[in-house]
Chain A
Amino acid sequence: MAIYIVKRFFMMIATILIIATLTFFLMHSIPGSPFDEERTSNPTIQANLEKYYKLDQPTHIQYLYYLKAIVTFDFGPSIKKPNESVNTQLARGFPISAELGIVSILVAVLSGITLGTFAALRHNGIIDYGAMTFAVIGISVPNFVLATLLIQQFAVNLQWLPPATWSSPKHMILPTLALATGPTAIIARLTRSSMLEVLTQDYMKMARAKGLSPFRIVFRHALRNALMPIVTIMGTMLAGILTGTFVIERIFAIPGMGKYFVESINNRDYPVIMGSTVFYSAFLVFMLFLVDIVYGFLDPRIKLHRKEGDA
């Protein structure tokens, strides 16, 4: 296990480095600079600014500085908001984004699995058809459309919930719903099909032949086997929710990381772009690593390491 983790750790670092490098060169290939504004400032000031941010240096030198920033995890001050460092922005935005993301994932996983399981147990019944109708709609409707519809209905028409910002649990409901519906639908469909397959397995018949309670049969025998494919897609789903937060945060005016990220790209705010990209990718790669470990726990046949004597 330890060997596997160490191996994975180095792979994670390599992955992050590749992402960081690609981002750097992509970023520099976009025309424009942080100081392109309609009201052109004094050329001397601009030159000084560029010197200050080391933008006057050749690209490869800038790249080295950038690598140093990654290693020390100090991306310096933001160009557009000089009195704030990138790290402060991340520290402010990340908890909010994480809260939204984690709550959404929890909602998606719990409701998706429940829905899918009941659909499978009542195969071809009303619950099944209802759940799958919901799932098709949930997958088809993009989250930004759903978000606007939710705001229109629950915030504007019914006035039950606040339409935007992030200050109380009440504020969390609509963004979470908008963000979690798609993944819920995907998980529900996957759980259903995988559960249907598991239910026909011999070991399920054997569990029934033991006279076990239906609860135990479903939760102990079926679900664990049925969850495999869901864990598999959890990785990409995490990425989806992560990027989903950009859009949702914009729509609901939530001051999370997504907001800073989008703003920074529009402004060519290089340090912020670099900082948030590296941070996001590190986070995602780490989550994927967690998913792999969970996999090993769920299915004893998956060995994360090779032991002496094991085939």
Chain B
Amino acid sequence: MNEQQLANANALVKERQEEVPSLPKAVMTEKQVGQKHKRQPDYSEKVLAVEDLHVSFKTFGGEVQALRGVSFDLYKGETLAVVGESGCGKSVTANTIMGLIPQPPGRIKSGRILFKNKDLTKLNKAAMRKVQGVDISMIFQDPMTALNPTLKIGEQLTEGLRTHQNVSKAEARKKAVELLEIVGIPNPEERLKQYPHQFSGGMRQRIVIAIALICEPELLIADEPTTALDVTIQAQILELFDEIQARTGVSIILITHDLGVVAKIADRIAVMYAGKVIEIGDKREVFYSPQHPYTKGLLASVPRLDLKEEELQPIDGTPPDLFAPPIGCPFAARCPFAMEVCEKVYPGTTELSETHKVDCWLQDERAKHVFQM
């Protein structure tokens, strides 16, 4: 990206923020955003491209439009964090990429998911099974329920490998032991013979991660991988992600609503709201100069240790009903800067830099006066 451009954009945005007194400075400190990672993403190689994805679910109450045009790219070795509040479509995005949307009631209405130039939405179930667990793996939220209680860890680890690759039992076992070592489980040989209930929550999540990695996937989708863990374990698991990425060059989509997690391991951030990606950008861009009022609100609602006696600022209101989503900007009803146009027309995407994109009317030239008020 152009350094100059970025600097200009940042300067511009800073200026504006200072002009709006009602909005807190939703910025994180350098320390919080984290140091350089052990690995570097390769931005020349695109692993995944999601293009204008629409997914709906038929229910008794009508059709829920869970995703309403989600687009983003993912590059080799990078971690893209998808953030947003509950029900904004984060998990649906993950499940759709993974091919885990139950159809019916779910339906991919339009859009493409290009994985290595192959459109995953066009694959039938059998072809999709050759992608699941092999090229794309998933890590689930709750390690206490993600492992089958009646099967030994060894079997749960190796069955994916044995299904997809022609390996002997002994080879699969060897690989499983290796992986358990990598994810930090002591005595892997013995542990393979044990059942999930004999492991602690953090250990189980490590096993879930090992299972996801066993076929050496290129893309790892982690759906809130640390939400169910206690804080000390969270940090360890996040470090593990970093380590694994450095080791294997896997790309990660990290779904979370924990901005602390994002600050720690993400390269880029996509902010979702009401089934759309409303802002996407480099971690620093999104944290230091959030452009969408929703992103600002989101960051302002995170507790900070470095600012004393400042109350948390929740975003008032609730997300829109996705049975009948608003035609304009879905955040308009909760937005302190909403203009007439916001409720009538969905804003186009403004590219602030090569990486930073935002869907907001405030970016429009004609809306500049809003900030002057």
Residues of A within 8 A of B (CB): 201-203, 205-213, 216, 220-221, 224-225, 298-301
Contacts and interface: CB of A to CB of B under 8 A. Distances in A.
Given A213-B163, A216-B159, A301-B197, A208 B132 contact: yes
Per CB-CB distance, the 5 closest pairs between chain A and chain B, nearest first, are A211-B132, A210-B133, A202-B145, A211-B133, A210-B160
A211 B163 contact: yes
Given A203-B147, A221-B151, A211 B130 contact: yes
A206 B140 contact: yes
Interface of A is mostly: helix
A210 B147 contact: no
B211 A212 contact: no
B138 A299 contact: no
Contact of A201 (B129, B145, B208): B145
A18 to B, nearest CB: 35
Given A221-B151, A300-B197, 16 more contacts: A201-B145, A202-B142, A203-B149, A205-B140, A206-B138, A206-B208, A208-B132, A209-B100, A211-B129, A211-B134, A212-B133, A213-B163, A220-B159, A224-B150, A299-B150, A301-B197
A298 to B, nearest CB: 7
A203 to B, nearest CB: 4
Interface in B123-179: 128-134, 137-138, 140-142, 145-152, 159-160, 163-164
A225 B148 CA distance: 8
A55 to B, nearest CB: 56
A173 B247 CA distance: 64
Given A211-B131, A211-B133, A298 B163 contact: no
Nearest to B125: A214
A13 to B, nearest CB: 33
Interface string B70-109: 0000000000000000000000000000101000000000
A210 B163 contact: yes
B323 interface: no
A213 B129 CA distance: 8
26 contacts: A202-B140, A202-B141, A203-B145, A203-B149, A206-B138, A206-B147, A206-B148, A209-B133, A210-B133, A210-B159, A210-B211, A211-B130, A211-B131, A211-B133, A211-B160, A212-B159, A212-B163, A216-B159, A220-B151, A221-B148, A225-B149, A298-B150, A299-B149, A299-B150, A301-B149, A301-B197
B195 interface: yes
Contacts of A212: 129, 133, 159-160, 163
